[in-house]
Amino acid sequence: MTLAELIAQARTALDTAITARQQEQDALMALRSDETLTEEQARAQIERRDAADAEVTRRQQALADLEAEQAREDELAQLQARTTPAAHRAPAYDRVHRVGAEERTYRPDQDRRGAMFERDVAAAFLGDYEARDRLARHMAEERAERGEQLQRAVGTGAFAGLVVPQYLTDMYAPQAQANRPFADAIRHHDLPAQGMQVNISRVTTGASVDLQTSENTAVTEQDMDDTNLSIPVQTAAGQQTISRQSIERGAGVEAVVMDDLFRRYNTNLDNKILNQASTGLTNVATAVAYTDATPTAAELYPKVIEGLAGVEASMLDMASGDNLAVMHSRRWYWMQNAMGSTWPMITQPGIIAQTLGANYATSYGRGVRGILPNGTPVIVDNNIAANLGAGTNEDEIYLVDRQECHLWEDPDAPMYIRAEQTKAASLGVLLVVYGYFAYTHQRYAHARKIAGTGLITPAYTGV
């Protein structure tokens, strides 16, 4: 990772820390206006505010250190350019095979949207040797930095199985389309190196313990038994044929095509995790009915608590407590539009008692959007169907233990690109994006979903 990328990350972390500190300060001001405020409550909130303030200071110093390091590197580069004799200067950047800490062949500061990479992929199949050389350098750099992760990648002799530069997959993830908010929030694993199935052993009959009836009598015994949970490895893929004319005479055509394929890959994967027949979250979750011709956010909230209680009752001592509420954006904004004069009788850490949870004001697909009154984080995902029910106008709210929603993805990419000149007779070039994944929400049958006429298309009336 370059210094520029580290600086960008540090700036994002600082912005996040500042936002968190402001939220703690707002919470403190709200508490101070509460006539029932105790000294202990005030002191606890001040401590949280001060901790957030210290985090801002730490992030600020980290950013300053990185910027100072970058300034020094720039200064040394300029000095070297002035002092190195012209006859002994290093070869041009594109004449050197660079790996490790050297600058990458494809970099976000020079090729932000990946147009150069995409153009090279397509051009390599048309006999462009310079494009082939750049792609070969890129693959060597990937092996140097990610080592064992690329052991299964196809060789570059025919350039079938090129690894997409990591910054491109990172960049494309948050763009338009429903994308993959839920997939990014759940528990991730590396997909096994071989096989088209993931197997998990589940204990279905446990041992037994009871009181001994009397001395020297047999103690209770129950033979344990397990059942194998088989999870299929699936392939998500998309393709697009583009003309040779668009490659050679067009401007940015490849970038548009690949951007769309990347985003649709992410959206398709997330959609399957939520909606796939038999195994998608909507089909394995136990329903909590909310039937109401005039629904309100205040009436919906107890259903959320009922669902979370069901999650914990199913998990018992295996419950992590790391729960999620997953809902459509229209439902999240409807809950925010509600006004009321009542609030929960039991307060929660870090939540102002007089409000129905908190909105973190993060943008779509950037993680947790806010929290409910009991502290449950909210993930907003528009892959949730909004055409359910008899009136085809209902959505659903899912309540899960985050640690028991599992997603396996191939660690090589997670996405790959292949380009093959399979339609030479029509001057066409084929671009393909694909990836392998497996998922399950059923290691423990715990998920709940709120469904019914109470979740019809919302009316934003303040209730």
Do 342 and 274 sit in the same domain of this protein? yes
Do residues 150 and 243 both lie within one domain?
no
- pLDDT recorded at residue 376: 93
Which of the given ranges, 145-154, 228-237, 280-289, has the highest pLDDT on average?
280-289
pLDDT recorded at residue 158: 40
Per-residue pLDDT at 249 exceeds 80 = no
pLDDT category, 354, cuts 50, 70, 90? Answer: low
Whole-angstrom distance, CA of residue 365 vs CA of residue 248: 35
Measure the CA–CA gap between 147 and 302, rounded to whole angstroms: 50
Verify that 365 and 239 share a domain, yes or no.
Answer: yes
> Is residue 218 in a domain?
no
Mean pLDDT of 16-21: 84
Q: What is the mean pLDDT of the chain?
A: 82
* pLDDT at residue number 159: 42
Note the pLDDT tens digit of each residue in 300-327: 999 999 999 999 999 999 999 999 999 9
184 lies in the same domain as 276: yes
pLDDT band of 437, cuts 50, 70, 90: very high
Asked if 407 and 264 sit in the same domain, the reply is yes
Rounded to a whole number of angstroms, the distance between the first and last alpha carbons of the chain is 49
Q: How many helices (H) and strands (E) does the chain have?
A: 11, 15
Pick the range with the lowest mean pLDDT from 89-93, 172-176, 451-455.
172-176
* pLDDT for residue 296 is more than 60: yes
Which one of 28, 63, 88 terminates a domain?
A: 88
Whether 130 is in a domain gets the answer yes
- 116, 167 Cβ separation under 8 angstroms: no
Q: Are residues 134 and 263 in the same domain?
A: no
Q: Are residues 248 and 165 in the same domain?
A: no
We report the CATH number of the domain holding residue 182 as: 3.90.1690
More confident residue, 255 or 372: 372
Q: Among 230-234, 341-345, 407-411, where is mean pLDDT lowest?
A: 341-345
Q: 77 with 108, same domain?
A: no
Query: Among the listed ranges 214-228, 312-326, 423-437, which one has the minimum average pLDDT value?
Result: 423-437
* Residue 403: inside a domain: yes
Find tokens 């292949």 and name the residue: 418
Question: In this structure, is residue 209 part of a structural domain?
Answer: no
Range in 240-249, 290-299, 408-417 with the lowest mean pLDDT: 408-417
Q: What is the 3-state secondary structure (H, E, C) of 297-346?
A: HHHHHHHHHHHHHHHHHHHHHHCCCCEEEEECHHHHHHHHHCCCCCCCCC
pLDDT digits (tens, 9 = 90+) for 168-184: 655 543 346 898 999 99
Lowest mean per-residue pLDDT among 126-135, 158-167, 383-392 = 158-167
Q: Which residue has the higher pLDDT, 329 or 41?
A: 329
- For the chain, the domain total comes to 3
- On whether residue 223 sits in a domain, the answer given is no
Q: Which residue has the higher pLDDT, 456 or 372?
A: 456
More confident residue, 103 or 56: 56
Quote the CA–CA distance of 377 and 395 in Å, as a whole number.
19
Do 159 and 18 share a domain, yes or no?
no
Residue 86, pLDDT above cutoff 80:
no
In a domain, 96, yes or no: no
Q: Containing domain of residue 439, as a range?
A: 178-196+230-463
Residue type, 353: A
Burial class of residue 340, CB neighbours in 10 A (0-12, 13-18, 19+): middle
Please give the structure tokens belonging to residue 181: 């908010």
Same domain, 271 and 391: yes
pLDDT for residue 173: 39
Return the minimum-mean-pLDDT range out of 125-129, 186-190, 221-225. Answer: 125-129
The mean per-residue pLDDT over the stretch 352-370 comes to 79
Domain boundary residue among 170, 187, 209? 170
Confidence bin at 369 (pLDDT 50/70/90): very high
pLDDT at residue 103 greater than cutoff 70: yes
97 lies in some domain: no
- Domain match, 20 and 44 both: yes
Count of Cβ atoms closer than 10 Å to residue 236 Cβ: 19
Instruction: Please give the backbone phi and psi of residue 254, each rounded to the nearest 5 degrees, phi first.
Output: -60, -35
Per-residue pLDDT, averaged over 270-280, amounts to 97
Q: Is the pLDDT of residue 384 over 70?
A: yes
Q: How confident is the model at residue 160 (pLDDT cuts 50, 70, 90)?
A: very low
Q: 141 vs 58, which has greater pLDDT?
A: 58
Integer Cα distance of 120 and 165 in angstroms: 13
Looking at the predicted structure, is the pLDDT value of residue 156 above 50?
Answer: no
Domain termination site, one of 53, 88, 123:
88
* Structure confidence at residue 148 (pLDDT): 45
147 falls within a domain: yes
pLDDT at 51 over 70: yes
Higher model confidence: residue 353 or residue 219? 219
- 311-326: b or e for each residue (b if 16 or more CB lie within 10 Å)? beebbeeebeeebbbb
Same domain, 144 and 182: no
Average pLDDT over residues 359-366: 84
